[in-house]
């Protein structure tokens, strides 16, 4: 038995402008030892999280037939769309089923045939199907994409059926941000199996030892002497309250200077001597005092978290060796910049496009499981370095076909955006979050 998720799709349901609603969906397909498949469709958020099952279908038998159940979680619009085999939602589910079933079939020994997959995705044997009632047929939108998809690669070959925790890397077309007000638009996190048209393929590997994350914030010391503080306060009062407020603050400061004339003269004299002679620490030497610097540790900026991984890949068969080569190529090619950033013609190569980026997921109970709640999540990352050691055992050794007996790959990545306080509000309360 094996399970796989489709990518997340954006779909509109509803029969009029007034009740039309856009939601996100993904489908999970599980293969059965009997040769059948189970199809489960979920309503999710844009990242593929917080899923709610709206329908379930089982395809089995010879010839295969499909039985569908619509759950109580489905809305009236969704129920109407599910009854209409030509609706946007039904069409999207059919395509998601094909994609997910193909992935699941590749990762299992269950006797699932192409005819079963076609039946499960086509809906012609659906016992719950009724006459069409007219669902909205709005056009779906998708993110820009490159022309090549690397597919879904796994190592070792039996990890898909082992049920062990895995780490999954999804390559994504780099998404630019737009200016919004005084800042930039957000970049939604891609959930497991998500990415839509941005997804360029995935690599699933066993979780290695030494996984960690490091959250940090940029704080630094800052000083402001009394004179600077007085000037700053007056400037703030002018900006906030106008000339009258600034004048009152200056008068208050002048009164304070008159009141503390001896101390002020002492400080001013030391400043004049220091400026004229370059000698520092006059008051410290002569009076045993210093001007109060109002030293304080202040927040300066957020930081971007780094991630490092190392995997040793040793082939036990020719197909597994082929998969290792594909995995190495996947990382190398997707981290490389792309030509053709210009508009075409002579200027086609005037600019370079940013490399593809990567989304990391720790998956609990295998590739078809859920994102691990007890390991910190990561935002979308750029790969800053990738290293291959072709002789990790200290000597040159190849298999009969020329493959290295082992490869060790090491990679460093860094998040594209800082982690903010509000980001944790979008994660389950019983998870670590970021």
pLDDT tens across the length of the chain (434 residues): 678 888 888 887 766 555 667 888 999 988 888 888 898 999 988 877 888 899 998 888 878 888 888 998 888 888 888 888 878 888 888 888 888 888 887 777 778 888 888 888 775 433 333 333 334 333 333 333 345 788 899 999 888 778 889 999 999 999 888 887 778 877 788 888 877 778 899 999 999 888 999 999 999 999 987 767 777 777 777 767 666 665 666 566 556 555 555 666 666 566 656 655 666 777 777 778 777 788 999 999 999 999 999 999 999 999 999 999 999 999 999 999 998 766 666 666 788 999 999 999 999 886 566 889 999 999 999 999 999 999 999 999 998 889 999 999 999 999 999 999 999 988 888 899 99
Pairing mode of beta strands 199-206, 152-154 = parallel
Give the DSSP letter string of 147-199. Answer: S----EEESSTTHHHH---EEEEEEE------EETTEE---PPP-TT--GGGE
Angle among Cα 198, 100, 315 to the nearest 5 degrees reads 85
For the record, the structure tokens of 46 come out as: 């844009």
**How many angstroms separate the CA atoms of 295 and 289, rounded?**
15
CA distances from 169 to 132, 153, 172, 206, 377 (A): 40, 10, 10, 11, 13
Phi and psi (nearest 5°) for 168?
A: -125, 130
Residue 214: asked if its preceding bond is cis (omega within 30°), the reply is no
Using an 8 Å Cβ cutoff, are 323 and 155 in contact? yes
Residues facing residue 410 across a β-bridge: 310, 387
* Structural domain boundaries in the chain: 1-141, 143-215+304-434, 220-300
**Contact indicator for 388, 281 with CB cutoff of 8 Å:** no
């Amino acid at each position: 038995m094996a399970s796989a998720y489709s990518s997340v799709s954006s779909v509109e349901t509803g029969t009029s402008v007034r009740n039309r609603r856009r939601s996100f969906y993904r489908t999970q397909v599980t293969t059965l030892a009997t040769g059948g498949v189970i199809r489960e469709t979920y309503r999710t958020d844009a990242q593929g999280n917080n899923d709610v099952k709206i329908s379930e279908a089982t395809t089995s038998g010879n010839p295969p037939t499909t039985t569908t159940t619509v759950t109580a979680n489905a809305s009236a619009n969704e129920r109407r769309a599910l009854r209409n085999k030509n609706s946007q939602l039904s069409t999207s589910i059919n395509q998601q089923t094909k994609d997910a079933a193909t992935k699941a079939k590749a990762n299992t020994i269950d006797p699932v045939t192409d005819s079963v997959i076609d039946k499960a995705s086509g809906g012609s044997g659906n016992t719950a199907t009724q006459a069409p009632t007219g669902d909205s047929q709005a056009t779906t939108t998708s993110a820009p994409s490159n022309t090549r998809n690397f597919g879904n690669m796994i190592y070792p070959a039996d990890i898909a059926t082992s049920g062990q925790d895995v780490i999954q890397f999804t390559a994504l077309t780099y998404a630019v941000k737009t200016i919004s007000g005084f800042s930039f638009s957000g970049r939604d996190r891609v959930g497991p199996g998500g990415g839509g048209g941005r997804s360029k393929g995935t690599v699933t590997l066993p979780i290695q030892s030494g996984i960690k994350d490091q959250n940090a914030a940029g704080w630094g010391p800052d000083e402001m002497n009394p004179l600077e503080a007085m000037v700053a306060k007056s400037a703030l009062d002018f900006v906030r309250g106008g000339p009258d407020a600034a004048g009152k603050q200056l008068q208050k400061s002048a009164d304070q200077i008159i009141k503390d004339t001896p101390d002020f003269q002492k400080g001013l004299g030391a400043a004049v001597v220091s400026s004229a002679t370059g000698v520092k620490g006059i008051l410290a030497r002569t009076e045993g005092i210093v001007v109060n610097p109002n030293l304080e540790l202040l927040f300066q900026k957020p930081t971007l978290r780094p991630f490092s991984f190392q995997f040793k890949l040793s082939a036990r068969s020719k197909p597994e060796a082929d998969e290792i080569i594909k995995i190495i190529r996947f990382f190398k090619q997707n981290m490389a910049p792309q030509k053709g950033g210009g508009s075409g013609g002579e200027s086609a190569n005037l600019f370079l496009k940013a490399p593809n980026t990567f989304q990391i997921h720790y998956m609990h109970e295998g590739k078809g499981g859920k994102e691990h709640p007890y390991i910190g999540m990561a935002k979308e990352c750029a790969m800053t370095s990738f290293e291959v050691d072709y002789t990790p055992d200290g000597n040159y050794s190849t298999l009969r076909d020329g493959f290295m007996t082992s490869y060790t790959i090491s990679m460093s990545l860094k998040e594209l955006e800082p982690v903010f306080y509000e980001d944790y509000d979008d994660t389950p309360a019983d998870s670590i979050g970021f």
